[in-house]
Amino acid sequence: MGEKMETKDVSEMTINELEEFLKKAKEIKNKVSKPKGLTYCIIRTDSAGVFAGLIDRKVKGKENTIYNSRKIWYWDWDGANSLSQLANDGLNNPENCKFAQEVTESDLKGIIEIIPCSLKAEKSIKEVKICRNKFW
């Protein structure tokens, strides 16, 4: 299932080997197709916050599993002043946003809103660098 990559300690790699490794890793990641029946959406919960990720919109109720998701802590208001507008138009300044790293799978409870994203919005959300500073 999928390609295997030769492993080597990163500290022993040359710059060229590291660049080639990262290129292959990106190619493999891009080959993974979106699971059937899932839609990239912005999901708002009543107490856990806001997330962007793949979700099965046919599942009704306040609980669902999201895949390849990111928690949205803060986004630059330039261009999107609501979650609906963010889902439609995406971000103008992804460098000014604070999103967590992508998580493969999460179970959410207390879902109160699911907004499908345009391709433009999905791309801009995925471009936001991971925020690692808890005191932003």
**Which residues is 98 bridged to in the sheet?**
74
Please write the tens of the pLDDT for every residue from 37-66: 899 999 999 999 999 999 999 999 999 999
Percent of the chain exceeding pLDDT 70 equals: 82
Task: For residue 3, give the nearest of 34, 35, 26, 37 by alpha carbon.
Answer: 26
Write down the pLDDT at residue 43. 96
Strands 64-74 and 39-45: unpaired
Residue 101 half-sphere exposure, CB side, CA atoms within 13 Å?
5
- Beta strand 64-74 with 103-108 is antiparallel
pLDDT tens-digit readout, 113-132 = 999 999 999 999 998 888 87
Dmax (CA) for the chain in angstroms is 51
